[in-house]
Structure 1
């Protein structure tokens, strides 16, 4: 018998190679087992070069078997709206998704266009009956980038993380493989 999951939403933040994906995968597996729910992995990355293909392969190997895999390099909100109460969904990663939109918009990229995509995503996450675990890079801890497109990305990534943190029940920052709970509903 399948039980409905609670609708907890989680945001897992961290720098590159901080352990955020591993933490999020463990959380998804745990929730899936607790609620006898399907475990879904939604990938946002596109293997545009050999190094990215190797990163994707590393994550696939690290995850292991038992995941229903989906791709959503751009239309993430639409993909997430398809999941139900018996699903645990891990999205890795939001900053790659945001960068995909930045590239898609090209020279027409703007704060307004990116904020619209983030608002649509936040609304779907908030209303979804599924348990959703979002992974995102915390990119705003370094120096302010010199280039306009880089600043547009960093600024919007920061705003995106804030928007999604507002609709998530749990927010965890991963540094050096260690979790720091920033927001908690009382259970992960």
Structure 2
């Protein structure tokens, strides 16, 4: 599994297309993806939006990392970093931000590769 993170509008999706030879057809938008989609797609972008959708729909994220490693170990996962800036006043937004951060932390620990993209340039954080 490879985790690609970075701020909004930093070129993460284009970076993945170029660096890993992924086509648009192989990518799924997390805003539109269902829970099971993550276990079958080549690349899921807007992972943070997938988490938000899951919180709203009551998905159980327990064991997600282990299941991904077992069922979709070659997954390319693209997520915005949400932990910078002002802490949201809204309780749901705080939960969403914290949940996404914690899940990404677990995923990063188990991922083969973690890359942070800034201004379209990837910086390898981890390459096991």
Global fold match (TM > 0.5)? yes
On the 8 A contact 1:92/1:135 being kept in 2, the answer is: yes
Q: Measure the CA separation in 2 of the matches of 1:173 and 1:155.
A: 19
Identify the residue that residue 95 of structure 1 maps to in structure 2.
48
Unaligned runs of 5+ in 1: 1-8, 33-38, 47-72, 84-88, 106-112
Deviations 1:26-57 (A, max 9, x none): 23317x9xxxxxx72222223xxxxxxxxxxx
> 1:46-101 CA distances to partner (integer Å, 9 max, x unpaired)?
3xxxxxxxxxxxxxxxxxxxxxxxxxx231xx334447xxxxx1111210101111
Count of aligned residue pairs for this structure pair: 127
Q: In structure 2, what is the Cα distance between the partners aligned to 1:97 and 1:157?
A: 9
CA contact (8 A) 1:12 1:136 kept: yes
RMSD: 2.2
Looking at structure 2, the residues matched to 19 and 80 of structure 1 have their Cα atoms a distance apart, in angstroms, of 21
- For CA contacts below 8 A with separation 6 or more, give which structure has more relative contact order: 2
C-alpha spacing 1:82/1:18, structure 2 compared with 1 (3 Å):
closer
Choose which of 93, 99, 106 in structure 2 pairs with 1:156. 99
For the 8 Å contact 1:28–1:90, the answer to whether it is kept is no
Shift in Å, 1:132: 1.2
- SS of equivalent residue, structure 2 residue 83: coil
Q: Which of these two proteins has the greater Rg computed from alpha carbons? A: 1
Query: After superposition, where does 1:176-187 map in structure 2 within 5 Å?
Result: 176-185=119-128
In structure 2, list runs of 5 or more residues that go unmatched.
none
Normalised to the residue count of structure 2, the TM-score between the two structures is: 0.85
TM-score by length of 1: 0.60
